[in-house]
Amino acid sequence: MSAPRINPSILAADFVNMESELARIAGADFVHVDVMDNHFVPNLTFGPQMVTRVQETSPVPLDVHLMIDDPDRWAPAYAELGAASVTFHLEAAASPIALARRLRSIGARAGVAVKPGTPVENLFDALDEFDQILVMTVEPGFGGQSFMPETMPKLRALADEAKRRGSSVWLQVDGGIGESTIAQAAEAGADTFVAGSAVFGADDPDRAIQSLRSTAAR
Ligand code: DX5
Ligand code: ZN
């Protein structure tokens, strides 16, 4: 396996000092950018204008997580502004495969996310249509929640299926990931880890990233 990827979520950063916050995580693999619309989830963050400035400012590529209704309409703009990866929710998309193809055609990695209660079997035949599958390990909407271990069987099923099919899809987890939970997610098959509070809540975020990466690799 390649080295585990650690993607800090700027939801836990200081929004009015975003440039210096981004500089504190220069050792990350991607910056995880949570876009919320107050409809798909009961919280509101920011849209393409802010994400464009993050894209222009960040030393590392962007991993955009869209927690929004109607991603079929809105997601391509995030690929067009230069995000390396754009992930939309399966529950919100009308035509997930068509949308993933569109994102790839613009040049982004295409990701699909599932909430804790959403089954993943329907994705098995479409693994190659996506570059990343995000298994939410909390209900989307807020940082700082507790990791839900009951999502691990689903992750394991995806990992087994990906292996069986020889797929190179990345398996991402998001929510409650920290030193005490990252190992079980890695063991269940995740290779890409979002961490908000565990990184930005640390005195030295870059050290926290390195430490999470080595815990996940063990
Ligand atoms: C939650 C977001 C997460 C959030 C994770 O809906 O998708 O990316 O920032 O925060 P922590 O790591 O604090 O659980
Ligand atoms: Zn997220």
Domains assigned to the chain = 5-217 (3.20.20.70)
What is the C-alpha separation between 143 and 163, in angstroms, rounded?
Answer: 31
Please indicate whether residue 204 is annotated as part of the active site. Answer: no
CA of 164 to the centre of ligand 1 (A): 30
Supply the angle between the helices 48-57 and 71-80 in degrees, to the nearest 10. 30
CA of 176 to the centre of ligand 1 (A): 7
C-alpha closest to that of 85 among 40, 152, 33, 146: 33
The mean pLDDT of the chain is 98
Structure tokens at 34: 């949570």
Tally of CB atoms within 10 A around 71: 28
Ligand nearest to C-alpha 212: 1
**41 CA: nearest ligand 1 atom:** 6
Question: Looking at residue 1, what is its pLDDT?
Answer: 58
Q: What is the mean pLDDT of residues 40-51?
A: 98
Q: What is the mean pLDDT of residues 73-93?
A: 98
C-alpha closest to that of 142 among 73, 41, 217: 41
Is the C-beta atom of 178 inside 6 A of ligand 1?
Answer: no
Is the C-beta atom of 8 inside 6 A of ligand 1?
Answer: no
Express each pLDDT in 162-211 by its tens digit: 999 999 999 999 999 999 999 999 999 999 999 999 999 999 999 999 99
Percent of the chain with pLDDT over 70: 100
Report whether pLDDT(160) > 80.
yes
Express each pLDDT in 53-78 by its tens digit: 999 999 999 999 999 999 999 999 99
- Three-class DSSP category at 110: strand
Q: Which of 34, 37, 63, 131 is catalytic?
A: 34
Q: What is the mean pLDDT of residues 30-42?
A: 98
| Beta-sheet strand order (sheet of 62-67) | 5-8, 192-195, 170-174, 132-136, 109-114, 85-89, 62-67, 31-36
Full-model pTM: 0.98
Question: Looking at residue 2, what is its pLDDT?
Answer: 76
Q: What is the mean pLDDT of residues 96-102?
A: 98
Report whether pLDDT(31) > 70.
yes
pLDDT confidence bin for 83, thresholds 50/70/90? very high
Q: Flag the least confident range among 1-15, 83-97, 148-162.
A: 1-15
Query: Residues with Cβ within 5 Å of ion ligand 2?
Result: 34, 65, 174
Please indicate whether residue 70 is annotated as part of the active site. Answer: no
